Amino acid sequence: MGKLIDVSMPLSSTVPIWPGDTLFAYELTWTKEESGSVNVGQITMSTHTGTHIDAPFHFDSQGERVLELDLDLYAGTALVVDVSGRDCVRPEDLESERLDGTQRVLLKTNSWKDRSVFPVRIACLHESLAPYLFEKGVRLIGVDVPSVDPLDSKELPAHHALHGKGIHILEGLVLDDIEPGKYHLMALPLPLKEGDGSPVRAVLSR
Ligand SMILES: Nc1ccccc1C(=O)C[C@H](N)C(=O)O
Ligand SMILES: [Zn+2]
Ligand SMILES: [Zn+2]
pLDDT in tens, the chain (206 residues): 789 999 999 999 999 999 999 999 999 999 999 999 999 999 999 999 999 999 999 999 999 999 999 999 999 999 999 999 999 999 999 998 888 889 999 999 999 999 999 999 999 999 999 999 999 999 999 999 999 999 999 999 999 999 999 999 999 999 999 999 999 999 999 999 999 999 999 999 99
Question: Which residue from 177, 188, 193, 6 is spatially nearest to 82, judged by alpha carbons?
Answer: 177
Task: Give residue-wise pLDDT tens across range 43-84.
Answer: 999 999 999 999 999 999 999 999 999 999 999 999 999 999
Cα separation, 104 vs 63, whole angstroms: 21
**Going from the N-terminus, what domains does the chain have, and what CATH number goes with each?**
47-205 (3.50.30.50)
141, 105 in Cβ contact below 8 A? yes
Cα separation, 166 vs 138, whole angstroms: 9
pLDDT of residue 1: 73
Tell how far the Cα of 129 is from the centroid of ligand 1, in angstroms.
20
Please, how many CA atoms are within 13 Å of residue 119, restricted to the half-sphere of its CB? Answer: 21
Question: Which residue from 189, 164, 201 is spatially nearest to 72, judged by alpha carbons?
Answer: 189
Strand partners, 28: 41
Nearest-atom number in ligand 1 for the CA of 197 is: 15
pLDDT of residue 101: 84
Ligand lying closest to the C-alpha of residue 151: 1
Verify whether residue 58 is a known catalytic residue: yes
pLDDT of residue 2: 83
51 within ligand 1 shell (Cβ under 6 A) = no
CB under 5 Å of ion ligand 3: residues: 54, 147
Spatial CB neighbours of 59, under 8 Å, sequence gap ≥ 6 = 156, 159, 160, 163
Tell how far the Cα of 48 is from the centroid of ligand 1, in angstroms.
7
Cα separation, 6 vs 103, whole angstroms: 20
56 phi/psi in degrees, rounded to 5: -55, -30
pLDDT of residue 170: 98
198 within ligand 1 shell (Cβ under 6 A) = no
Spatial CB neighbours of 140, under 8 Å, sequence gap ≥ 6 = 73, 74, 78, 103, 104, 105, 167, 168, 169, 170
184 is in an annotated binding site: no
